[in-house]
Chain A
Amino acid sequence: MKYLCLVYSDENDLHSLPDSPKDTECHAYAQNLAEGGQLVAGEALEPVSTATTVRVRGGQLSITDGPFAETKEQLAGFYMIDARDLNEALRIAAGIPPARVGSIEVRPVRPLDV
């Protein structure tokens, strides 16, 4: 079953706290998951200042600057993983290095009803 692990953190100090992970550590963790067949995809994201939000309302396209919601923590990256069940997904999420400074939201992927 696929789970999306969303990495949230305050991007102002994501890279500057004593516990902040280095890119090399994140890369190694993803590599490790990939070798075990548990990684579907995973990327780090540019800061929310680079985000654009797209909406279509009544056929009208609207494009606005910034993330969907202004919050204290921002989406900093994601891992799409393949896990046996939620317990395995939570184990994997707990190992994601920025879990030490931010938080990881684990969301089951909903198979489309087609």
Chain B
Amino acid sequence: MVRVLGAVTVVALAAGLVAGLGLAPREATQGNVQRIMYLHVPSVWVAYLAFAVVFVASIAYLAKRAEAADQLAHASAEVGVLFTGLTIATGSIWGKPTWGTWWTWDARLTSVSILFVMYLGYLLLRGMIEDRERGARYAAVLGIVAAFNIPLVHFSVTWWRTLHQPPSLMKPGPGTMPPVIVATLLVNFVAFSLLYAYFVAKRVRLLRREAEATS
């Protein structure tokens, strides 16, 4: 099952790469650099997806006390932090040639980096508690607090300052992007989501084995 998922993921990622590097047209002003968008945007999407899963799984754990929910939250948080890091890294690489700087305290950069440290703290908390049951409970509480905090971080940071280009995909009204780019992005969205599912499935299985081995 997981193996099939892995194979499908590889195919989807390859398709995304071909579409991103071959099919999609060269951007007029930014040139080939713009192609990193096909990694950057799906990474953010997966990061948010992962943290949403952490939130739901945390509530489920506190309600039902099923260890599976806790393992899902743990795995999802790890993968989410990974993809948040990937977002920041690809964003930096994209920002250097286009904005002229690796990093700037722009609204969205800041809010993503706050997410990054928030969930790093979450993983740190998990790592520091030996008692598995208590660790699961505390982490679930933190997962809920952190999720509620996401919109607050978003608004406060947006009011604080903004420089990032406005989102070009989800805004109302007719899209400004040619369909080829949208299609390429969608392929990569699917590929990255599959990759997320694959990572989480692997990690959950590993966590379950660990739990079996220590109990």
The yes or no verdict on A and B being binding partners is no
User: Which residues of B does A touch, CB under 8 Å?
Assistant: none
